[in-house]
């Protein structure tokens, strides 16, 4: 594709603004390193560390098999994002615009807003989690206690929360280039400090560390559900962790110079990155047993046990950097584009980001006292499950129905004769295919009998969406053939 091929002529204002427009080849500055750092920042959070460490401890599985499961999950996610990212590399369009090809130019607002709501919710929650790192830093350096509590947070907690919120606001207000720079700095920095921490743990733990590692890799007990069941559970858990970014990966790949660089970044950032990060988390966690007599998978617990001011400062900076990184990747960029797609004439990337930040302020501010107590995560997980069939529909439509060919002009056209107008801007066949697949995806969140599927429910929902969509499109072609 050339710059001229990506030029949109006479777009409909209700479907177009500069942030939704195709990114021209000459304006793309992302390479494999940027994509690697998207994934590095996605896993380098407090939850990501705890998850990686827990995989070796909670399933009773041989350590080598855990690594094998992590590698397999990395390749599964890599394949999924290569599929969803390629159209955006080729045509320079974000996720909500790509969704127009299969859902219709108006129907695309449905999956875009579902993804946006999920991201806004977690943006607020992660902003709170990042603020706990700043709270740790302020308390550790000054020795000042938080004082009285208001809505579950102390004065220091509220100051920390406001600082994180303003810092993130400053980053996105300066545009995608500043976000790119932060991610490129944050990914390697967190890795460097984790390596240093692992070395310190190894030196302090001595031979006791290798004893604990040996026990983990020996897996002396039979895993619950059998070895195969535990292996599949670990794989599914890791796939589910990245599912939120899989569907809107085009929001990042549209800035990449070539499909080859995207694939290299995905290879290094997913299977390779996941193994290295998990290994570091394993070493540090095993070291805590040698040093403190128990497995500590929460980084803040490790810092508290060490009780060292220098480590507290470094750890606080790491926690802050890592959590802000994942927030920008998984929870800020998606709703900024999704909101812009809803009302392009009034909402651009900045305004969409500002709306996201304001909503997130209240979500994060009320997280401890209200939202975390409401069991609302089930509702948010339900919204996330709704998106699984949409992924399958989008990918199958692009590769098998459209044969990898899109009409850039028609993506921004509201003409009733337009290629992607379908019926009043909605592809009703896509909705018909989505309904039964979505029923399964939603049931996977609420029906206990489906718990055994673990993280595979998202992948199964995507496969069902693709399968039902293929059937509806074949029936349409068959009906057209008979009428002819």
- Listed in sequence order, the DSSP H helices in 268-348 are 273-292, 299-306, 309-326, 333-342
pTM: 0.90
Q: CB neighbours (10 Å) of residue 461?
A: 29
Query: Which three-class secondary structure state does DSSP give residue 269?
Result: helix
Q: What is the mean pLDDT of residues 290-302?
A: 74
112-126, 159-173, 223-237: segment of lowest average pLDDT: 223-237
Q: How far does the chain reach from its first CA to its final CA, in angstroms?
A: 36
- 484 pLDDT above the threshold of 50: no
Q: CB neighbours (10 Å) of residue 345?
A: 11
Q: What is the mean pLDDT of residues 254-283?
A: 94
Q: What is the mean pLDDT of residues 307-328?
A: 81
- 252 pLDDT above the threshold of 90: yes
pLDDT of residue 282: 87
pLDDT of residue 219: 63
Q: Are strands 153-154 and 149-150 parallel, antiparallel or unpaired?
A: antiparallel
pLDDT of residue 221: 67
pLDDT in tens, 25-37: 999 999 999 999 9
Tokens 């990060």 belong to residue: 277
pLDDT in tens, 428-473: 999 999 999 999 988 988 888 887 775 688 889 999 999 999 999 8
Query: Which three-class secondary structure state does DSSP give residue 153?
Result: strand
- 296 pLDDT above the threshold of 80: no
Q: Where are the beta strands (DSSP E) in 130-221?
A: 149-150, 153-154
In this structure, which long-range contacts are made by residues 474-481, counting pairs with CB atoms below 8 Å and at least 24 apart in sequence? Answer: 476/429
- 98 pLDDT above the threshold of 90: yes
Local confidence band at 220 (pLDDT 50, 70, 90 cut-offs): low
Local confidence band at 146 (pLDDT 50, 70, 90 cut-offs): low
21-25, 241-245, 415-419, 462-466: segment of lowest average pLDDT: 241-245
pLDDT in tens, 114-133: 999 989 988 998 899 889 88
pLDDT greater at residue 148 or residue 168: 168
Please tell me the distance from the alpha carbon of residue 84 to that of residue 150, in angstroms, as a whole number. 44
Angle (deg, nearest 10), helices 377-396 and 63-91: 60
pLDDT of residue 294: 75
Q: What is the mean pLDDT of residues 175-199?
A: 87
Superfamily (CATH) of domain 25-483? Hydantoin permease (1.10.4160.10)
Residue 26 buriedness (CB in 10 A; 0-12 / 13-18 / 19+): exposed
Q: What is the mean pLDDT of residues 98-123?
A: 94
49-58, 300-309, 324-333, 383-392: segment of lowest average pLDDT: 300-309
Mean predicted lDDT score pLDDT of the chain = 87
Spell out the domain ranges in the chain.
25-483
pLDDT of residue 479: 47
Residue 389 near residue 461, CB atoms below 8 Å: yes
pLDDT of residue 454: 59
pLDDT greater at residue 332 or residue 308: 332
Task: Say what percent of the chain tops pLDDT 70.
Answer: 94
Please tell me the distance from the alpha carbon of residue 197 to that of residue 315, in angstroms, as a whole number. 9
Task: Say what percent of the chain tops pLDDT 90.
Answer: 49
Q: What is the mean pLDDT of residues 200-226?
A: 76
Residue 100 near residue 398, CB atoms below 8 Å: no
């Amino acid at each position: 594709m050339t710059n001229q091929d990506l030029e949109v002529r006479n777009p409909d204002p209700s479907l177009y603004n500069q942030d939704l427009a195709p990114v021209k080849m000459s304006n793309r500055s992302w390479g494999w390193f940027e994509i690697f750092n998207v994934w590095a920042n996605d896993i380098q959070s407090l939850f990501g560390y705890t998850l990686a460490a827990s995989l070796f401890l909670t399933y009773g599985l041989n350590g080598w098999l855990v690594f094998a499961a992590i590698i397999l999950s990395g390749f599964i996610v890599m394949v999924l994002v290569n599929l969803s990212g390629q159209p955006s590399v080729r045509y320079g369009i974000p996720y909500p615009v790509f969704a127009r090809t299969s859902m219709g130019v108006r129907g695309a607002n449905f999956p875009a807003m579902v993804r946006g709501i999920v991201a806004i919710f977690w943006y607020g929650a992660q902003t709170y989690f990042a603020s706990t790192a700043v709270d740790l830093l302020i308390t550790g350096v000054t020795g000042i206690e938080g004082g009285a509590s208001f809505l579950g947070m102390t004065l220091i907690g509220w100051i920390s929360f406001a600082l994180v919120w303003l810092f993130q606001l400053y980053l996105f207000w300066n545009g995608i280039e500043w976000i790119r720079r932060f991610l490129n700095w944050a990914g390697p920095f967190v890795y460097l400090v984790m390596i240093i921490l692992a070395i310190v743990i190894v030196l302090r733990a001595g031979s006791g560390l290798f004893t604990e590692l040996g026990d983990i890799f020996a897996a002396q007990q039979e895993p619950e559900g059998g070895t195969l069941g535990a292996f599949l559970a670990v794989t599914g858990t890791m796939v589910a962790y990245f599912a939120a970014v899989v569907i809107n990966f085009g929001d990042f790949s549209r800035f990449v110079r070539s499909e080859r660089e995207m694939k290299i970044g995905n290879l290094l950032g997913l299977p390779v990155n996941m193994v290295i990060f998990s290994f570091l988390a394993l070493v540090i966690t095993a070291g805590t047993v040698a040093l403190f007599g128990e497995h500590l998978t929460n980084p803040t617990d490790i810092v508290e046990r060490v009780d060292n001011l220098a480590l507290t400062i470094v750890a606080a900076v790491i926690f802050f950097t890592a959590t802000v990184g994942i927030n920008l990747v998984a929870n800020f960029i998606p709703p900024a584009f999704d909101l812009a797609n809803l009302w392009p004439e009034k909402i651009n990337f900045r305004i969409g980001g500002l709306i996201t930040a304001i909503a997130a302020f209240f979500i994060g501010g009320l997280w401890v006292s209200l939202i975390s107590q409401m069991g609302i995560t089930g509702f948010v997980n339900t919204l996330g499950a709704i998106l699984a069939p949409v992924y399958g529909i989008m990918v199958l439509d692009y590769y098998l129905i459209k044969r990898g060919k899109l009409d850039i002009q028609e993506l921004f056209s509201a003409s009733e004769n337009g290629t992607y107008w379908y019926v009043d801007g909605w592809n009703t066949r896509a909705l018909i295919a989505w309904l039964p697949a979505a029923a399964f995806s939603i049931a996977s969140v609420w029906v206990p009998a489906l718990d055994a599927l673990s993280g595979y429910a998202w992948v199964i929902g995507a496969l069902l969406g693709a399968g039902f969509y293929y059937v509806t499109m074949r029936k349409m072609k068959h009906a057209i053939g008979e009428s002819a």
